[in-house]
Amino acid sequence: MLGEECVGTVADNGGVSSFNLGDTVATWLCGIGEVFDGAYAEYTLAPAAYCYQIETKLEWRVLGAIPATFITAWGSLHRALNVKKGDAVLIHGGTS
């Protein structure tokens, strides 16, 4: 599984996506690196349904480290623990 997550800018939306050219997007766990070529390439093709538009001023080297870490934290809080608004959560020693 090489390159199963990526960030980048939309270079071509195929005319069928809700993304505009130049949008910054992130994706993970959509078959990249398994079903089709990974995200370590200069260009990759990811299903639009698995891409998320993001607005950030982070540098690419920092932004590129976030997708898998984010989905791990989100999944732990929302899928595993079912945390809802108003719940209190103590995170001790949180790392990726």
CA quadruple 59, 63, 64, 66: dihedral, nearest 10: 160
Please report whether residue 26 resides in a domain. Answer: yes
Please report whether residue 93 resides in a domain. Answer: no
Please report whether residue 32 resides in a domain. Answer: yes
The answer to whether 1 touches 33, Cβ cutoff 8 Å, is yes
Tens of pLDDT, residues 9-39? 999 988 877 899 999 998 877 677 677 666 7
Please report whether residue 86 resides in a domain. Answer: no
Tens of pLDDT, residues 68-84? 788 788 888 888 999 99
pLDDT at 88: 94
Q: What's the pTM? A: 0.71
**Residue 68 and residue 89: Cα distance in Å, rounded?**
21
What would you measure as the largest C-alpha separation in the chain, in angstroms? 45
Please report whether residue 63 resides in a domain. Answer: yes
pLDDT at 58: 93
**Residue 72 and residue 65: Cα distance in Å, rounded?**
12
Tens of pLDDT, residues 44-66? 888 888 888 999 999 998 998 88
Number of domains making up the chain: 1
